[in-house]
A and B are shown apart, each in its own frame.
Chain A
Amino acid sequence: MPQDREIAIDVRDAVKRYGTFAALKRISLTIRDNEFFTLLGPSGCGKTTLLRMIAGFEDVTEGAIYLYGEALDTLPPYKRPVNTVFQNYALFPHMNVLENVGFGLEMLGKSKAEARARAGEALEMVQLSQFASRKPSQLSGGQQQRVALARALAPRPRVLLLDEPLSALDLKLRKSMQVELKHLQRETGITFIFVTHDQEEALTMSDRIAVMSEGELQQLGEAREIYERPRNVFVADFIGDTNLMEVTVDKVSGGRAQCHLGGGHSLTCDAVDGVEAGARVHMSLRPERLFLSAQPAEPGSLPGTVRETIYIGTDIATIVDLEDGPQFTVRSSNSTRGNARVFEPGQNVAVNMETGAARLLAD
């Protein structure tokens, strides 16, 4: 991905305080032009606040936000070339679908004819042309969602803000909308800023993800980077499933750390900066990067006993108690080709890991 692309949104040291409560604690980040950017975090992490600050519904207590180099400052929402897809869609109930979609264009001073024509195009883009004369209440949730999308896209904003737009849809519909959204973003070339608490959704759709927690930016990067190289305990725990445990560092050399965990089991991890021998730190091990084999354990693997096997469908998860040590979850693909041997509870097994599977984390 080219790093020198134009910057769409530049958030510099933005702080948002409500009285004494800080919803955003000095956040700085840049969002590139034509990017699918996701703000990800649990509820109350400040992601929606940041989105509403970009839209102009909340003012910035300290710091500044720039849109294509221009300071947004006190610009009211109706003067920002930014449109929002609201969580509850907020379709105007007294207008039909076409009037809803054409509203922004009309307010921009376009002629009635042009507004209608361009609203029609936007409806075509979301495949709802045949519903143009319906009222929003006569549509299903998924259709309302697409109308909200068409309404926000019709004025051709420079940046589209999406505030958890898929959270009210059922799983199947949500999955297909994820693909459609990604497709729309590519097709229109508009910068999308997507807010969600669903990490899977974020990983599926985003070019880059900003993980937030308690008003702070935890990590910013591409999906793969965030999943495979989480910077701290929060990110490792929030994104995907992981085996998170405390280890003691014995030796650090060449970016690798020799560690041991409870029960005296030792393993080699990717180190993080500033870790020294003797430190107690957290370690993350993704379950799918572990695999089981029958005992006796080879050197470097960890001996244990199967406690439970869980059938998930695509995968099989096995929970293993290490000898005198912590519990591990191991996940293997449920495929006939694979070497996934299913072990029974009570069987003695060895837990093996791919090189680089274990990562030490900052707190």
Chain B
Amino acid sequence: MAKPHDLRRYPGFLAITILCLVILYAPLMVVAVYSFNASASITIWEGFSLRWYADVFTGPESAKYRDAAWNSFIIAITAATSASIIATLAATAVLRSGKFRLRTVSIGLISLPLMVPEIVTAVATLIFFNALAFERGILTILLAHIAFCIPFAYMPISARMQGIEASYEQAAMDLYATKRMAFTRILMPLMMPGIVSGFILAFIISLDDFIITNFVKGAGVETLPTAIFGAVKQGIKPNIMAISTLLLLVSIVMVALSWLIGRKDQKT
């Protein structure tokens, strides 16, 4: 029992917390549970089975999903890598090059895309490619993903860099390290946890993007989210739930990885 005047306890908060968690996680739980349903129905439980997972990997649509998953993976890896590199350089320029004109504006411009409605970005990107007469295909998806991943990668990277005092680089240069050496030997290792977080965030964002991808993808080129959307239009089959559960698993693994790296960094 809580003591009558325990300041750390607020009556009624437990119920609200549970309600929030249920709303957040119940749908995900339903999808995950029904992906193991033996029945072809998506609402009636008929017993445990892995048939829909088998269907995803070996069924009639497996080739389609495999290609889509492969596209998604390649795009996510490439986009996250490019975005992390660009974001690292941007953070170095903005936070480590002293004051320059339009510095504040630059910081704003980098994070502004986070607040632009995605549909607007999608239309703008499409118009941009059309104006250049750029043929739509996997390359347009990749370029679009690199662009919208930059602000996501930038956030953890710049947050990390802000926490690194300038005196480390000064100490390095005082100890005969050139600017380049100070960057590679001191600044980069200290920033690494931020860069890894930025990479993972960008990877997940790219992996599950639908709106922009759907606008800029060429005919016949699918990523996993567009393939799933295409399949759902013809009715939801339990194999969609299996794919969704697998995607969820990838996200959870990535987030856990990011958390573990962050925790290890705090200890040293």
Residues of A within 8 A of B (CB): 55-57, 76-79, 82-84, 86, 88, 90-94, 103-104, 107-108, 135, 137, 151-152, 155
Contact B168 A92 (CB under 8 A): yes
Q: A86-B170, A90-B170, A92-B171 are in contact. Are A78 and B178 (CB under 8 A)?
A: yes
Contact B167 A90 (CB under 8 A): yes
Q: Does B165 contact A (CB under 8 A)?
A: yes
Q: 5 A-B residue contacts at CB 8 Å?
A: A84-B170, A90-B168, A90-B170, A92-B168, A92-B171
Contact B174 A78 (CB under 8 A): yes
Q: Count of A-B contacts with CB under 8 A?
A: 61
Query: Which listed residue, B174, B186, B268, touches A84 by the CB 8 Å rule?
Result: B174
B178 cross-chain contacts in A, Cβ below 8 A:
78
* Residue with the greatest number of chain B CB neighbours at <10 A, chosen from A79, A86, A155: A86
Q: Does B32 contact A (CB under 8 A)?
A: no
From B169, which residue of chain A is reached at the shortest CB distance?
A90
Contact B268 A135 (CB under 8 A): yes
Q: A78-B176, A78-B177 are in contact. Are A137 and B170 (CB under 8 A)?
A: no
Contact B170 A104 (CB under 8 A): no
Contact B189 A88 (CB under 8 A): no
Please measure, in the bound complex, the distance between the C-alpha atom of A56 and the C-alpha atom of B174, giving whole angstroms. 8
Distance from A108 Cβ to chain B, minimum over Cβ atoms (Å): 5
Query: Which listed residue, B171, B176, B181, touches A90 by the CB 8 Å rule?
Result: B171
Q: Does B173 contact A (CB under 8 A)?
A: yes
Q: A78-B176, A92-B186 are in contact. Are A107 and B181 (CB under 8 A)?
A: yes
Contact A107 B170 (CB under 8 A): no
Query: Which listed residue, A56, A83, A108, A137, touches B268 by the CB 8 Å rule?
Result: A137
Please measure, in the bound complex, the distance between the C-alpha atom of A83 and the C-alpha atom of B173, giving whole angstroms. 10
Q: A90-B165, A90-B167, A107-B181 are in contact. Are A77 and B186 (CB under 8 A)?
A: no
Residues in B101-147 with C-beta less than 8 Å from chain A: none
Please measure, in the bound complex, the distance between the C-alpha atom of A124 and the C-alpha atom of B173, giving whole angstroms. 24
Distance from B56 Cβ to chain A, minimum over Cβ atoms (Å): 43
Query: Which listed residue, A76, A93, A103, touches B175 by the CB 8 Å rule?
Result: A103
Q: A86-B171, A88-B165 are in contact. Are A94 and B176 (CB under 8 A)?
A: no
Residues in B227-250 with C-beta less than 8 Å from chain A: none
Please measure, in the bound complex, the distance between the C-alpha atom of A108 and the C-alpha atom of B175, giving whole angstroms. 8
Please measure, in the bound complex, the distance between the C-alpha atom of A93 and the C-alpha atom of B266, giving whole angstroms. 11
Please measure, in the bound complex, the distance between the C-alpha atom of A137 and the C-alpha atom of B190, giving whole angstroms. 14
8 residue pairs, one from A and one from B, having the closest CB atoms: A104-B175, A107-B176, A90-B171, A90-B167, A77-B173, A107-B177, A78-B176, A84-B174
* Residue with the greatest number of chain A CB neighbours at <10 A, chosen from B172, B175, B189: B175
Please measure, in the bound complex, the distance between the C-alpha atom of A344 and the C-alpha atom of B174, giving whole angstroms. 58
A78 cross-chain contacts in B, Cβ below 8 A:
173-178
Please measure, in the bound complex, the distance between the C-alpha atom of A90 and the C-alpha atom of B187, giving whole angstroms. 13
Contact A155 B165 (CB under 8 A): no
B174 cross-chain contacts in A, Cβ below 8 A:
55-57, 77-78, 82-84, 152
Contact B171 A84 (CB under 8 A): yes
A77 cross-chain contacts in B, Cβ below 8 A:
170, 173-174
Please measure, in the bound complex, the distance between the C-alpha atom of A77 and the C-alpha atom of B181, giving whole angstroms. 13
Please measure, in the bound complex, the distance between the C-alpha atom of A165 and the C-alpha atom of B189, giving whole angstroms. 26
Please measure, in the bound complex, the distance between the C-alpha atom of A88 and the C-alpha atom of B168, giving whole angstroms. 10
Distance from A228 Cβ to chain B, minimum over Cβ atoms (Å): 37
Contact B189 A155 (CB under 8 A): no
Distance from B105 Cβ to chain A, minimum over Cβ atoms (Å): 21
Distance from B193 Cβ to chain A, minimum over Cβ atoms (Å): 10
From B189, which residue of chain A is reached at the shortest CB distance?
A94
Contact A155 B175 (CB under 8 A): yes
A57 cross-chain contacts in B, Cβ below 8 A:
170, 174
Distance from A153 Cβ to chain B, minimum over Cβ atoms (Å): 11
Contact B168 A107 (CB under 8 A): no
From A109, which residue of chain B is reached at the shortest CB distance?
B176
Contact A93 B170 (CB under 8 A): no
Q: A94-B189, A94-B190, A135-B268 are in contact. Are A86 and B177 (CB under 8 A)?
A: no
Query: Which listed residue, B170, B177, B268, touches A94 by the CB 8 Å rule?
Result: B268
B172 cross-chain contacts in A, Cβ below 8 A:
92, 103, 107
B173 cross-chain contacts in A, Cβ below 8 A:
56, 76-78
